[in-house]
Amino acid sequence: MARPIEFDRDEAVKRATSAFWECGYGSISAGELVERMGIAKSSFYNTFGSKTDLLREAIASYTRDRAAALQRSTRQSNVLDVLRHLLLNVAKRNDDGKGCLLVNTAVELSKHHPDMAEVTRNGFSEMAMTFEALIKAGQEDGCIRADLNAKQQALILVTSISGLRVMAQSGFLAKEMQPFIDTVLQPMEC
């Protein structure tokens, strides 16, 4: 009979997500992951299978958390203001220099690992669906143009944010990227 899990799985996944986000996939060993997760090596393999399987779970968790945080932020401000703040925050801070786990993983692994390309594509698709729902809510509230195709604009946002993150990691300043941010948001403005 299998032994019961003796650790908080969600907490372990959060720690792994943080480790992958900070270090990337290739730069962190399974041993270092185990240490950062605070679990036994046998628990790691028995629970998560492999480092790659854990990365899949970490990306899914990261994406869910990001989508939920974005949805929560629109409760306090209109959608267009939330989107402007998000883009400016990416340009200024880019998650304290860590970038985006989806973008980082896509850049690092997707070219040579088709399964990771699918995982990151699913994450980007989930974020696009979140943006689409937010855009539709903004259209209903009257802060975003009603004639805008929400699905297309959502994909434009995901693509733009990904590019913005890469540019920020490359050292471009927020003031240099301000015209790009204005261009991305301009079609949505009423």
Range of the domain at 120: 9-188
Question: Is the pTM above the cut of 0.85?
Answer: yes
CATH number, domain with residue 22:
1.10.357.10
pLDDT digits (tens, 9 = 90+) for 48-59: 999 999 999 999
Domain membership of residue 4 (yes or no) is no
Domain membership of residue 1 (yes or no) is no
Torsion of CA 176, 181, 187, 190, to 10 degrees: -110
Domain membership of residue 156 (yes or no) is yes
CB 22 within 8 A of CB 35: no
Residues of the chain with pLDDT under 50: 1
pLDDT digits (tens, 9 = 90+) for 20-45: 999 999 999 999 999 999 999 999 99
Domain membership of residue 2 (yes or no) is no
Domain membership of residue 126 (yes or no) is yes
95: phi > 0 → left, psi -120 to 50 → alpha, else beta; which?
Answer: left
Q: Considering its fold, how many domains does the chain have in total?
A: 1
Domain membership of residue 103 (yes or no) is yes
